[in-house]
Amino acid sequence: MKITLLGTGDAPGTPVIGCSCPTCLDARKGSKSRRTRCAILVESDKGTVLIDTGPDLRYQMLKHDIKHIDGVIWTHGHYDHFAGFSEFHRVQYKVDVFGLEETLEYILDYVKFLHPIRHDIPLNTPFELIGLEFTLFEVIHPPAKNPVGIIINDGKNKVVITGDCQRNIPEKSMELIQDPDLLIADAIVPPSINVKKHMNTTEATDLAKCIAAKEVVFTHLSHYFKPHEEAIKEYPLGYDGMVFEF
């Protein structure tokens, strides 16, 4: 399988509109500090799946020459993770969409004009798509209702995506996500900044250690990090277009 981080930014993206901090200035030059909103592309020899569809989806699909999507899985109903689904208008109809019942209920109210084909998926229950096994696990990300992380397994390799979440991941989920080959973790800020809804880099590092992740990459990154080339000396930050192949 091949995983591409299409977007590694937090909700406003980087640069933030109107901001002239060093990271946003660096991002305006087109460097790796520039971060579009969340979407992850998962590819196998059988097809292509999107995990979340942030508002920058049109740009991301053009940039990566993505011609067709076999399914979309949503982690939760925050606009920075689903609003870009509207970009399928007059491009691809009846897209298969997957997620928890409550999440689909909320998002499909917004995108029902596209008539996606709905697949309600229960927690902790593997399902197959494009020859890969996906499992949704419970995380905590207030005030989002029923947010999930996602495990992807190709039979040999295990990838864990936390989605947006706090460090206090429920015990059952912690059991399921042990020993991944790759952990893609929400780490919105360095520890100097206090946030409640997301993990900071210290918490994401601790999570990687607790589940014995072979490799970890941080995403959902804000402009509070130093410019990318400086920040990666301290933290394993992802960047838009970063690829992992197994």
Positions touching Zn ion (CB under 5 A) are 16, 19, 21, 24, 78, 80, 164, 223
Phi, psi of 21, rounded to the nearest 5 degrees: -70, 165
Q: Least Å distance between CB 107 and Zn ion?
A: 12
> How is residue 172 written in tokens?
């059952």
Q: Least Å distance between CB 179 and Zn ion?
A: 26
Nearer to Zn ion, 39 or 49 (CB): 39
Nearer to Zn ion, 78 or 228 (CB): 78
Looking at residue 65, its amino acid is D
Residues 116, 91 contacting (CB under 8 angstroms)? no
Closest CA to 56 of 218, 240, 242: 240
Nearer to Zn ion, 195 or 242 (CB): 195
Annotate 115-167 with DSSP letters as a single string.
-PEEEE--TT--EEETTEEEEEEE---TTSSS-EEEEEE-SS-EEEE--S--S
Q: Least Å distance between CB 91 and Zn ion?
A: 24
What per-residue string of b and e applies to 51-66 under the rule 16 or more CB within 10 Å gives b? Answer: bbbbbbbebbbeeeeb
Looking at the DSSP bridge assignments, the partners of residue 160 are 151, 183
Neighbours of 101 (CB within 10 A): 12
Q: Least Å distance between CB 125 and Zn ion?
A: 23
Q: Least Å distance between CB 81 and Zn ion?
A: 5
Nearer to Zn ion, 87 or 186 (CB): 186
Nearer to Zn ion, 149 or 180 (CB): 149
